[in-house]
Amino acid sequence: MKQVLQNLRSGNTQIAEVPVPGVKSGQLLISSSVSLVSAGTERMLVEFGKAGWVQKARQQPDKVRMVLDKAKTDGVMPTIEAIFNKLDQPLPLGYCNVGKVVQVGAGVAGFELGQRVVSNGKHAEVVGVPINLCAKIPDSVSDDEASFTVLGAIALQGIRLVAPTLGETVVVTGLGLIGLMAVQLLKAHGCRVLGLDFDKDKLALARQFGAEVVDLSQGQDPVKAAEVYSRGRGVDAVIVTAATASSEPIHQAALMCRKRGRIVLVGVTGLELSREDFFKKELTFQVSASYGPGRYDPNYEEKGQDYPVGFVRWTEQRNFEAVLDMLAEGRLDVQPLITHRFSISDAEKAYELVGGSGPSLGILLTYPGMTITPASRTVTLRSDDQKSSSAITTGKSVVSFIGSGNYASAVLIPAFKEAGARLRCVASSAGVSGVHAGRKFGFEQTTTDTNQLLSDSSCNAVVITTQHDSHARFVLQALRANKHVFVEKPLCLTEAELAEIETTCAASGSQSSGSSILMVGFNRRFAPQVQKIKQLLSGISLPKSFVMTVNAGSIPADHWTQDNQVGGGRILGEACHFIDLLRFLAGAPITSWQNNRMESVTKDTVTLQLGFADGSIGTIHYFANGSKSFPKERLEVFAAGRVLQLDNFRRLTGFGWPGFTKMNLWRQDKGQRSCAKAFIDAVEGRCPIPIPVDEVFEVSRVSIALAHHQSVPLV
């Protein structure tokens, strides 16, 4: 299918061939008929992409500080690579979509096949959208009209925050699509409306919709005009729908308002506020969050948990419905706002218009409609007839990836390619990241159908890099399909999942000669400096003491990694790395463990204590309450009157070690490339299993226990 993507590094817009997304639980799969280009938002994205490095940095000072912190701790080159990888990711454009339901996900009620719906789906021939971001279209509303629903909801939410009453005077600053719909909705509320803009055509439309207007291009003073229009009292409220870097619209809004007036920012402006402007009048100022309550709440948007109507009358979805009702009743007229129409195949012309200086307002993209087949979920990126024979009979590793997120694209896929693997297929849920990774690294196919990937006989190894709650399911499917499996940590989230994986491995003889290999991406043990530590410790038979300090940094409580059902929490999701590292260096089974945590909402500032069968002890300080400017990882090893200190996988220092003082690297190396190579070498029979499966299960079992605060006391 065709989809509109933008490159944030160059600003170029392209129409890409992307596999049709699969429908997830709680989602609708929608075949698009029309979508609306949000000129203001999408113009800003295009302009950001076309801006130079200095301009990009000026627009995102917070990101610049993050970059500087990363450079201090990880080094310049890894930081530059991370920036390039982030900017290289294609951005799907659009959020005003209309189409028909072609597939209903599990757990969805209230929607049927063939229904016309509006959603915040992208500019694509087929979109998958959670149900709380969809609404049914009344029969009397055309597809063209319905495509304005999402932008109308943005305008409506701003009005709800202003809370106008009948007869109040409201100023709308900026008469783009959202501003012009705000004018009409305010008139429907019984308000007197004054519109401000520089564009004569937009001013004429606002006048047509019943507003008085001020032409800023003629030098008219908006503050004086507002004073006259409000009969000398000051306006009751101002809704700012303009897009500008200037703070002047907010300053003007404050001057226009009466005492205790209200200002709501719906658009994007500078926010250098003057206390004097707000202090004397006791003004209220609020920034509107897009479509309404539920926006940016993953429980509402992704998990479909609606807010009770008795407590939250207007949610995102209910705002969509309200706008559709206004369209059906003819109280909101969007036909005059449509200025251009393009086929999806000609969408690049639409974005030339968006980024140009020519006049435009409502730009519609139309879609021919497509029949979804199993084949439409896979896109061939290149063919290689010379390598079409079975990998299992030739002994060559042919690897497919399930998941193509940031870590996979920035680290793992390059590592496996460097290790010599033939890259067969990459799967992603929405299709976009898979197409990007597939073309960038030379995969033969990309798909949104993991079942097709797992049943592919020409692939003999699978790398799993999806969200943590899917790891166990994909591991089991891959093992049962007789694939070698490399799964990013953690292996699984529950003891029941671990038991099923162990049973499956035992039944298939996994890890025995000629059988499937199961490996978790515990890369720290493969880092060159850790290998050096292991070598130095090999000559010491006495127990060792390990202190691992991880300055993990804060992650919001609503991030998916903090969700015990999805990410498993950070102890299981990330601290397992360091449990495995100490297990590797101790060279003895873990016999006791304990979790001492600081009380917090996220419970991710902890000290983990481990005891080993040979008498060694280990402490892992996993702290989320430190500064990002401090190095992230430090390991200290005390043994036989000697000490080793590893700082952030760049500097290794020995104290009291005969013949060893230091091993420093030009750049940080956490062992990802060596970890991938070890797996490929094992698949192709050049070396033994890199991590014994018993250790994988042991570390997983201890990590699950510690994540659930279960302890086996140290003795």
Q: Is residue 35 within a helix (H) or strand (E), and if so which, with residue range?
A: strand 27-37
CATH code at 500?
3.40.50.720
Residues 344 and 446 in one domain: no
In a domain, 301, yes or no: no
In a domain, 673, yes or no: yes
Question: Which stretch, 41-50, 314-323, 600-609, has highest mean pLDDT?
Answer: 314-323
CB 672 within 8 A of CB 470: no
- Residue 683 pLDDT exceeds 60: yes
Instruction: Dig out the tokens for 264 from the structure.
Output: 């709501």
- Residue 360 pLDDT exceeds 90: no
In a domain, 423, yes or no: yes
Residues 167 and 109 in one domain: no
Q: What is the mean pLDDT of residues 122-135?
A: 97
Single out the residue in 348, 366, 384 at which a domain terminates. 366
In a domain, 529, yes or no: yes
The number of beta carbons lying within 10 Å of the beta carbon of residue 309 is 10
- Residue 6 pLDDT exceeds 90: no
In a domain, 629, yes or no: yes
Residues 183 and 95 in one domain: no
In a domain, 173, yes or no: yes
Residues 357 and 386 in one domain: no
Residues 385 and 496 in one domain: yes
CATH code at 610?
3.30.360.10
Residue 17, helix vs strand vs coil = strand
DSSP 114-159: T-EEEES--SBSEEEEEGGGEEEPPTTS-HHHHTTHHHHHHHHHHH
Residue 291, helix vs strand vs coil = coil
Residues 346 and 400 in one domain: no
Residues 396 and 443 in one domain: yes
- d(Cα 590, Cα 680) in Å, to the nearest integer? 28
pTM for this one?
A: 0.87
Give the tens place of pLDDT for each residue, 45-86. Answer: 666 655 555 554 555 566 555 556 655 566 665 666 666 666
Looking at 371-385, 474-488, 554-568, 606-620, which range is the least confident one?
371-385
Single out the residue in 252, 287, 322 at which a domain terminates. 287
Single out the residue in 366, 390, 412 at which a domain terminates. 366
State the residue range of the domain holding 39. Answer: 2-148+334-366
More confident: 73 or 611? 611
CB-based burial label for 37 (10 Å; 0-12, 13-18, 19+):
buried
Number of folded domains in the chain? 4
In a domain, 292, yes or no: no
Residues 528 and 564 in one domain: yes
Residues 487 and 594 in one domain: no
Q: What is the mean pLDDT of residues 167-185?
A: 97
Instruction: Dig out the tokens for 84 from the structure.
Output: 């390039």
Residues 184 and 253 in one domain: yes
Q: What is the mean pLDDT of residues 285-313?
A: 94
Residues 691 and 645 in one domain: yes
Residues 124 and 32 in one domain: yes
Percentage of the residues of the chain whose pLDDT score is greater than 90: 80
In a domain, 318, yes or no: no
Average model confidence (pLDDT) for the chain?
91
Q: What is the pLDDT of residue 61?
A: 62
